[in-house]
A and B are shown apart, each in its own frame.
Chain A
């Protein structure tokens, strides 16, 4: 079986790669492109550790094939910070110590960033439901929620809202 040639955009950069049909987007990111920030947890769409943004919507990259990225715009955890400047969600995760082992953190940050991109003023309940597909076995979720709500406040202030 020949490999598929895929032309796509990852973190704002045009990207081309070869992959086999059965390779997941997560496999392509980690094994072909060296973008190892997205993590493999459950491989069944339950844990959210592999969360990426595909054309504006968050998806589990373990449940997407690498060939499906043709012509799409993908954002991974590696594309969230602006150079050395952390995204407010990243900064607040640090300040609130919203991580322990850190394995789930990339998925949380990508999912939370996508939430705040479309809703700068979520209620805590909305944030909890939005993040229900991300599992964390260390923090008990409370610090994560506090970090996300605090990041929303920072982003509202930056946006002058």
Chain B
């Protein structure tokens, strides 16, 4: 690999100082499962790597008030091993758990998946569907932003120089609220989403949807929050007419590309199918609690 400098600060303040003061390109390292591949292939040529894993709190999950607070560099294996999080948000854990192999799960993090800014990132749709926010540290102090504000295009984020994500704040579910994530790939494991869909619904005691968020991945330059899909669900039970409206809204929100994983037409069709299937799972889960 090309030569690079490495720093492993032990506080958020030091990390900001190092990132903000870097003269050339500085990259944040959490699990490294994307960064090291890009470094080795020459796609990026950073002068400095800042490893955030030595900062207290960057790895770990805690419950604080009405939130799960997940350290930005927490690996996938930690999410799937957290019984409380898995019970609350099975869709978020399913999405994170689908990334790569067991070996990748030992390293890959939520913040890395979000900031790598692939439209096909598996952990992102369900995190956005849960109305999660991220806490960002930077030269101006700390700020919070909705998770959907981070990725602005393939490989691009809204983070300014010197900024990095410290943690995710994921609100705990309300009564009768739950989620689901599905992705379509042509095999059973170790692939990148052709389409991904995260759906989060809140029902009333009678099973009618009172709130929803439907989020699609891999069908546009960024993850897409499908407002019309949520509108199709809210005020309804999951009957055939509702599913048909949901399918139509999801398809209408797609602006995909054709590539080796799928054509525009195929991705669009599958987006509708996954919206229906995730809604069915999320409704069933929400009704059961």
Interface residues of A (CB under 8 A from B): 1, 4, 20-24, 43-46, 48, 51, 54, 57-60, 62-65, 67-68, 70, 111, 114-115, 129-134
Residue in B29, B106, B190 whose Cβ sees the most chain A Cβ within 10 Å:
B106
A44 touches B37 (CB 8 A): yes
The interface residues of chain B lying within 8 Å CB-to-CB of A22 are: 1-4, 39
* A-B CB contact pairs (8 Å), 18 listed: A20-B3, A21-B4, A23-B1, A44-B40, A46-B190, A57-B75, A57-B105, A58-B103, A60-B104, A62-B36, A63-B32, A64-B32, A65-B49, A67-B8, A70-B8, A133-B100, A133-B104, A134-B101
Interface residues of B (CB under 8 A from A): 1-6, 8, 29, 31-33, 36-37, 39-41, 49, 51, 53, 75, 77, 100-107, 189-190
Q: A54-B106, A67-B6, A68-B32 are in contact. List 17 more A-B contacts (CB 8 A).
A: A21-B4, A22-B1, A43-B40, A44-B37, A45-B33, A46-B190, A58-B102, A59-B107, A63-B31, A63-B32, A63-B104, A68-B8, A111-B102, A115-B102, A132-B102, A132-B190, A133-B100
The interface residues of chain B lying within 8 Å CB-to-CB of A134 are: 101
User: Known: A22-B1, A57-B77, A129-B189. Contact between A4 and B6, CB under 8 A?
Assistant: yes
The interface residues of chain B lying within 8 Å CB-to-CB of A21 are: 3-6, 49
The interface residues of chain A lying within 8 Å CB-to-CB of B2 are: 22
Q: How far in angstroms is the closest Cβ of chain B from A45? A: 6
Return the contact of B107 from the options A23, A64, A115, A130 (Cβ within 8 A): A64
A133 touches B51 (CB 8 A): no
